[in-house]
Structure 1
Amino acid sequence: MERSEIKHIADIAQIDFTDDELDKFQENFSETFELIDNIRKIDTENLETTFQVNDTVNNLREDEAHASLSQEDAIRNTLDEKYGYFKIIKFVE
């Protein structure tokens, strides 16, 4: 990746870099793109697809419905309620 391209991306992101930092980024970007190019060259045409590479088993529990609080119990200790719901400060215009 060219230094000018890195500077352009940094300008878009409003990040200021010193000349030394830009040199290091250029080096790192070049190494990263070389690695990506090497990965792209790998022939994966006849490989079996895989979801995960270790023997981890899904350890999530089944979703089960249980009794929950009534609306009255849920808002019982609130500082402010409106129409049976929590009243909160509007902070988005």
Structure 2
Amino acid sequence: MSDSAVEPEDVRHVASLARVDLDDEEVDRFVEQFADILDYFETLDEVPEVDSETDLANVMRDDEVRDSLDQDEALRNAPESEEGFFKGPKVS
């Protein structure tokens, strides 16, 4: 475990915000994991900055205005459609 100051109350607070019930064993495990995550962020702070490339140019093509498909063409390859709309499986 690291020297980062992560308290069980912090873990319980985050769990309550996420509406997750944790038992004491889970809280202890997450205290260690949160501390490790904070250590990883501290390690990232040690990475030196890289000079940015100032001679970059836009390599993307210009937008072209074109006619879109009409409704019949858009639905032509749809496995199912209903009343002019794509029809998909119900999500429960």
TM range (shorter): 0.5 to 0.7
Structure 2: state its 5+ residue gaps: 1-5, 54-67, 88-92
Higher RCO (Cα < 8 Å, 6 or more apart)? 2
**Residues 29, 80 of structure 1: CA spacing in aligned structure 2 closer, same or farther, 3 A cutoff?**
same
* Residue-pair matches, total: 70
Q: CA deviation at 1:42?
A: 2.3
Unaligned runs of 5+ in 1: 51-67, 89-93
Would you say 1:40 and 2:45 are equivalent positions? Answer: yes
Q: State which of 79, 83, 88 in structure 2 corresponds to 1:80.
A: 83
- Amino acid in structure 2 at the alignment position of 1:80: E
Amino acid across the alignment from 2:16: D
CA contact (8 A) 2:75 2:86 kept: no
Match of 1:24 in 2: 29
Q: 1:25 to 1:79 in 2, by over 3 A?
A: closer
Which AA in structure 1 matches 2:21? D
Counterparts of 2:10 and 2:75 in 1: how far apart (Å)?
55
Amino acid paired to 2:17: I
Matches of 2:47 and 2:86 in 1, distance apart? 57
Residue identity over aligned pairs, in percent, reads: 26
- How does the TM-score come out when normalised to structure 2? 0.52
* CA RMSD in angstroms, aligned pairs only: 3.7
